[in-house]
Amino acid sequence: MDRRIPLTILLVLGIVMMLQFFIPSRPSETFFEYVFVRFGIILFGFALIPSVGSLIRHHWKKAAARKQGWPYSIVALVGLFGMAAVGFLDREQLLGGASGLFRRLFLNVQVPMQASMFGILAFYMASASYRAFRARTFEATLLLVAAFIIMFGVIPFGAYVWDKIPVISEWFLEVPNMAAKRGIKFGVGLGIAATSLKIILGIERSWMGGGGKG
């Protein structure tokens, strides 16, 4: 019985929202605005509560049990609560408003840290491409040649070597790449439509948990 309620809500709303899309009238738009837009934004806001709660619970348990890497959990919790507190105080103009502590912490701590984490990828990619990017088979050779042309095409140095390299690189992206991407996107689109229908009709129930049984 408890599973029938969410399944019924899903079935009714799924069908109504599909019908609404094809009815361009004022009542239909108003319905959409209240049910989807307003309710949706509220729902997304409330979704923060379980996600933040789960983060706190996970790190609290890890720190309390002194599991491996527990000091990092303390750092995560201090960062979470510290930034939130500074944010609330800043919002009330207690710490300098828009140019205050929150902004300085964000720009001088979070931004360099996240950008550095992403930047480190360049080193791993260089190492991995040296060790693994080999012309072992015909397909691997094709990939290697295409990668060379694209890499040369996107840097200004490529045009120095031969002014046609950027043109060939662009052709690779606009013809073979686009053909492959379009095929993949059609497949993904059909898959999304089929899966959505299965969910709306209650055939696919794994989203409810419990391995889709019941």
- Summarize as ranges the residues that interact with another protein (CB under 8 A): 29, 32-33, 36-38, 40-41, 43-45, 47-48, 98, 103, 106-107, 110-115, 117-119, 122-123, 125-127, 129-131, 133-136, 144, 148, 151-152, 154-157, 159-160, 166, 170, 173-174, 177-178, 181-182, 185
Is 63:57 a contact under the CB 8 Å cutoff? no
Q: Which is nearer to another protein, 4 or 129 (CB)?
A: 129
Q: Which is nearer to another protein, 192 or 194 (CB)?
A: 192
Q: How far is the CB of 4 from another protein (least distance, A)?
A: 27
Q: How far is the CB of 3 from another protein (least distance, A)?
A: 26
Distance CA 9, CA 210 (A): 19
Q: How far is the CB of 136 from another protein (least distance, A)?
A: 8
Is 3:198 a contact under the CB 8 Å cutoff? no
Provide the H-helix boundaries in the chain: 4-21, 26-32, 39-64, 70-91, 101-105, 111-119, 121-132, 138-154, 156-161, 165-172, 178-200
Distance CA 172, CA 130 (A): 23
Q: Which is nearer to another protein, 44 or 207 (CB)?
A: 44
Q: How far is the CB of 72 from another protein (least distance, A)?
A: 19
